[in-house]
A and B are shown apart, each in its own frame.
Chain A
């Protein structure tokens, strides 16, 4: 794992459908300045900048780190651009942390964003490389069959997804940055919305958001303010078209979790962690990831959701912030999970704070459920 690394600043923009008041540069700068303010630092204190986002076709700006160097105070410094599909926000945090763990830098600014209103994400996802077959399904169409297979395997009752959709949106009401705020949301409201990709209804899917998230990462020697210490960090990827791969509970997700738990000394994630921010873009991915990440035995994830254990007042709250179901600036969504995990163990999550949270998981996934990025942060120095 190398040298110790800590999160000392977090900054987020308000997530919403269209941020027409700012350019892309203005958006990322807003998050970066808030992270610096939280850390009590300025751009002058930063050694390097790491930026992540999902496909460049989402805004129509290729390799935007070139254009965004000025707005992020990167001129004269090293700057990296990460892209690992939907997991990119998490990977961006890990690449930034890696620079500190390697002893190369003392303070790194990591930023991730998406300004979906600049283009059309579903169009961008539906084109395909020459000589490759096109699925032309978008994300919902791609993942719905995996969810149906989960339901078939486990015999989960049909309302489980609805419970997650309600729980995460109730949490979002406590998060000032969340995009979807639906006062009075309940099962009946979710079940009254149109079926998009069976079994995913309109209110069981994530919104399209504009937004950016930033963190200041620090070496032990330069820690300022309230740190969230990195206890474990891991990435795993598996080939998309390998015959026999289990797309419902991918091996890469299991391996990534095992790696990060080993580093952090986690034997039982449900018992040893206090809160988890997990990439759940469609409601049913909560029970699916509960099993994949070892919070529940195989086939039992939906029972944990149904019992209320993952609610804000449950024994292992998942997505206290409202999660991806409430805010989805795609390239930033993974970084927001990592940042919210840090806010929880710093005791700075505000109204959605989980009392006494000391260890938290941040999780992101992408591609055809084949790219995984995870970290565990804690209030104590590892």
Chain B
């Protein structure tokens, strides 16, 4: 495959409330930032990820296109998925060999609606949605199937929030406390990623172009994704076969892993993903704070790739793994390996 690298990453200072900015206003400054950092004005391909249901209106990506200033007209596409899949589409497009750079972005404002209920609209509309399970309830089913240790879950949340407080873009969340509410057994309220508004952008470049534009590109040496059956009863909820398959296809086990950024929106998902990706004990997991410290839905997966790449670009890691998830209970998983 053609060598492709992350050469720039930008994200908003995420907020736990509606800060009064429309989606294009979240995205616009990030596009300017990565343009400035790379010196690129135009990109060979552009791809974004967003979800209409967060805004409660069709075509939420159309106004974002206004923000990036698509003139003259650009070669562009959009996935109604986390923008990590937009990055995958861009990586595929760069393999053709006729273009050398790509812009990827994603955005979401989950403050605008009831995210827990909105996420249940992605269930099978005939057999699952009418059961009335919201997002936290089906996550709790998975946590129960895993039989996760409470102390381990608490430690994951405590570590993530502490790391988040050290990350200027993540939320400032206190140590977890029972006062935050009961949650759905066996999950507590703090086991769920917080409601967050935000956006992120990444620039990819191929081969020599990447070396020209970036001192230390984060090369994508493997990237793959897999989906599983939708119905929870068809899966072993305590494991993630699709994350394990994607990790094997991406070559996670071919070398040491200094850092792993995992798209775990509930504390128990981190345990499942660590096992599925067969991460060594020494791997630093979610040093950015991860989704439990900032979860701008539809950008969260892309941010995992950006955070992992930043560790490489800044020379703080030699080999990093990034993961993104979609669908109920980790139905769909994407894994990327980044190297310096």
- List residues of chain A with CB under 8 Å of any chain B CB: 1-2, 23-25, 54-70, 74-85, 91, 94-95, 98-99, 101-104, 118, 124-125, 127-132, 234-242, 245, 250-252, 255-256, 367-368, 370-371
Contacts and interface: CB of A to CB of B under 8 A. Distances in A.
Contacts of B97: 2
In terms of DSSP, what is the predominant structure of the interface of chain B? Answer: mixed
B37 interface: no
A82 B78 contact: yes
A2 B95 contact: yes
Contact of B80 (A63, A250, A368): A63
B238 interface: no
B70 interface: yes
B230 A130 contact: no
A366 to B, nearest CB: 9
B77 A91 contact: yes
Interface in B73-99: 73-81, 85, 88-89, 92-93, 95-98
Given A25-B124, A83-B61, 8 more contacts: A23-B126, A66-B327, A91-B77, A94-B77, A98-B93, A104-B1, A125-B58, A129-B55
A276 B10 CA distance: 43
A238 B72 CA distance: 7
Contact of B124 (A60, A67, A82, A84): A67
Interface stretch (B159-167, B169-177, B221-229): B221-229
A251 to B, nearest CB: 5
B228 to A, nearest CB: 6
B118 A62 contact: yes
Interface string B28-66: 000000000000000000100001110111111111011
A128 B56 CA distance: 8
12 contacts: A2-B96, A25-B124, A57-B58, A58-B58, A61-B122, A63-B80, A66-B327, A70-B231, A80-B85, A95-B77, A235-B76, A239-B70
B60 to A, nearest CB: 6
Q: Which 9 A-B residue pairings sit nearest by Cβ, starting from the closest?
A: A55-B58, A102-B95, A252-B73, A2-B96, A66-B327, A83-B80, A237-B76, A238-B73, A62-B121
Contacts of A74: 227
A239 B51 CA distance: 19
A216 to B, nearest CB: 18
B62 A367 contact: yes
Contacts of A58: 58
Contacts of A128: 57
B23 interface: yes
A23 B123 CA distance: 14
B326 A75 contact: no
B249 to A, nearest CB: 9
B73 A255 contact: yes
A236 B328 CA distance: 33
B230 A69 contact: yes
Given A55-B52, A104-B95, A236-B74, A80 B89 contact: yes
B125 A67 contact: yes
A75 B235 CA distance: 11
Nearest to B235: A75
Interface in B85-144: 85, 88-89, 92-93, 95-98, 112, 118-119, 121-126, 128
A82 B76 contact: no
Contact of A66 (B66, B72, B92, B332): B332
Contact of B227 (A77, A91, A124): A77
A127 B229 contact: no
B125 A66 contact: no
A125 B57 CA distance: 8
Contacts of B78: 82-84
Nearest to A53: B80
Contacts of A98: 89, 92-93, 96
A67 B79 contact: no
